A and B are shown apart, each in its own frame.
Chain A
Amino acid sequence: MTILLEGVTVLVLVTNLLLLSSSRLNYCIRVVAAQGALVGLLPLLMHFNELAARVLMISLAGMVLKLLVFPWLLLRAMRGVDVRREMEPYVGYSLSLLSGVGMLIVSFWIGSRLPLAIPGLRHSVLPMAFFNIFTGLFLLVGRRKALTQVLGYLVMENGIYIFGAAVVLEAPLMVELGVLLDVFMLVFVLGIILFHISRDFDHLDIDRLSALKDWHGAEDEPAAFAPEHSRES
């Protein structure tokens, strides 16, 4: 069982590296879906000896949500807003991969210093949780498109989920279900918001939203967020 657990862990690490290095949104959404399924498998493998019905239930619910519902919502949002790839990220893809190495080393260093709830477990689950959180944060700050940022949130949530599964032996059922519901609502609502952002502004670039301002007067300052804003072309 440990070798299987180790294998799944490494696969999750590799999905993070794929996310860091790829620009195609379609592909990224699928990778995040695969990661969600793998992450859902982990609690099952960790608690394999005393498999409680509630662990099984939460894992299965999480897997269905992350493997089927989220990709469906996100792909639909992607088609709706008509973006295909992240064109000009703040941090280039090669540099992102190299930063991934740095984050990997830091997460293994942190992970080796924290105690685990399940004895016998080799220390690779915690580093993975930290690496997921770091990757999610990196995608949030290093990418421009709102859709990639949603993916960043999902990756981070996966990390926190794994951290919970590895450190806290049993989180209350209500808490876990609540988290799942929250994430579902996040993806659902963000899909709608993305659609509206792109319909109103013709793009999904987050950084340009900082040009939004309150109107000080109707005439003396023309709308700063008009789509045909001169600086943007």
Chain B
Amino acid sequence: MSLSGIISLTLALVLCPLLIGVINRIKAFFAGRLGVPLLQLYYDLAKLLRKGAVYSRTSTWLLRAGPAVGLACVLAAAALAPLGGGGALVGFEGDLILFAGLLALMRFFTVLAALDTGSSFEGMGASREVQFSALAEPALLLGLTVLATGTGSLSLNSIYSRLGAELWGKAAPALVLTALAFSVVFLTENARIPVDDPNTHLELTMIHEVMVLDHSGPDLALIQFAAALKLWVLGSLIVGVLAPVHSGLLWLDCLAALGGMLVLAVSVGVVESSMARLRLMNVPRLLLGAVVLTVLALILILR
């Protein structure tokens, strides 16, 4: 537990809804609209938290547990993931497996909650979510393996504190490939455009949004906040690879990481505005491509 860890977790908790706001503003800019306010998600969360929740009579405790467990998992993952080059709140040998496991547990409970409603649409979304995540997870784990091999460490915290100019000088191509694969994982896990369209209202094409249709009020607030936090956490993995700033000054490191996150949000907005959603049958090929990139990176760094 360190000062930088507390700062990075606090920044994640406070600023993650802003990231969504930035992405939405960029998309609005490209579409020629004015767009929603930057702080819209904060307003939404405040509004939803004041409302009551409605539960279907056919649902059980699983529907209620889903959002809470999801948020708890992503909070724990946020405590493990360092922001950019800064430190994480907790870290131990092998916590990168726990990190991937927490994200998987969050997904598992979201899927259970979706299936619990008994709606066929939600079951369809859950099936797709699981299918794509099963392909994205090898890319995430192999990418983390590349970083662990390169830095000779098994804890996210020390991996990201050892990433720096020295490793970039030795193995730049492997790191670029890993960052690319992480970006695909990032877009998939956060239901972003080449894989899933967060704005779609056509149930047949939805993946993630369809699973949370039956949640309302505070539950929906928890889900939206957890999604924003997940975006931040996975984004910080990419920023930590691409812009590892270790100046020794805490505020400078944090500032650099925040700048990196801003650039990441802007580029997500650009990607979403300039690309169309892939056909569902082509998504596995994209994810397989990410896996192949990490395999290539692993070969390059093992040599």
Contacts and interface: CB of A to CB of B under 8 A. Distances in A.
A123 B295 contact: no
Given A17-B292, A104-B299, A3 B177 contact: no
A7 interface: yes
Contact of A21 (B285, B296, B303): B285
A10 B300 contact: yes
A10 B296 CA distance: 9
Contact of A17 (B169, B172, B289, B303): B289
A97 B292 contact: yes
A105 B295 CA distance: 9
A123 B289 contact: no
A14 B285 CA distance: 15
B292 A101 contact: yes
B172 A6 contact: yes
A152 to B, nearest CB: 19
A105 B299 contact: yes
Interface string B281-297: 00011001100110110
B284 A94 contact: yes
Interface in B264-293: 284-285, 288-289, 292-293
If over half of A's interface residues share one DSSP class (helix, strand or loop), that class is named, otherwise mixed; here it is: helix
Contacts of A9: 173
A97 B292 CA distance: 7
B295 A104 contact: yes
Interface in A74-108: 93-94, 97-98, 100-101, 104-105, 108
Contacts of A112: 303
Contacts of B177: 10, 14
A104 B296 contact: yes
Interface string B147-177: 0000000000000000000000100110011
Contacts of B285: 21, 93-94, 97
A111 to B, nearest CB: 9
Interface string A150-179: 000000000000000000000000000000
Interface residues of A, number: 22
Interface residues of B, number: 16
A13 interface: yes
Contacts of B173: 6-7, 9-10
A101 to B, nearest CB: 5
A120 to B, nearest CB: 15
Contact of A98 (B169, B288, B303): B288
A11 B110 CA distance: 38
Contact of B169 (A3, A14, A101, A105): A3
B181 to A, nearest CB: 12
A79 B146 CA distance: 43
A124 interface: yes
A149 to B, nearest CB: 22
B131 to A, nearest CB: 13
B281 to A, nearest CB: 10
Contacts of A93: 285
B243 to A, nearest CB: 18
Contacts of B292: 17, 97-98, 100-101, 104
A21 B289 CA distance: 8
A101 B295 contact: yes
Contacts of A122: 303
- A-B pairs with the 5 shortest C-beta distances? A10-B173, A97-B288, A101-B295, A6-B173, A108-B299
28 contacts: A3-B172, A6-B173, A7-B173, A9-B173, A10-B173, A10-B177, A10-B300, A14-B293, A17-B289, A17-B292, A17-B293, A21-B285, A21-B288, A93-B285, A94-B284, A94-B288, A97-B288, A97-B289, A97-B292, A98-B288, A98-B292, A104-B292, A104-B295, A104-B299, A105-B299, A108-B299, A108-B303, A124-B300
Given A7-B173, A21-B289, 14 more contacts: A6-B173, A10-B300, A14-B177, A14-B293, A17-B293, A94-B288, A97-B288, A97-B292, A98-B292, A101-B292, A101-B295, A104-B296, A104-B299, A108-B299
Interface of B: 169, 172-173, 176-177, 284-285, 288-289, 292-293, 295-296, 299-300, 303
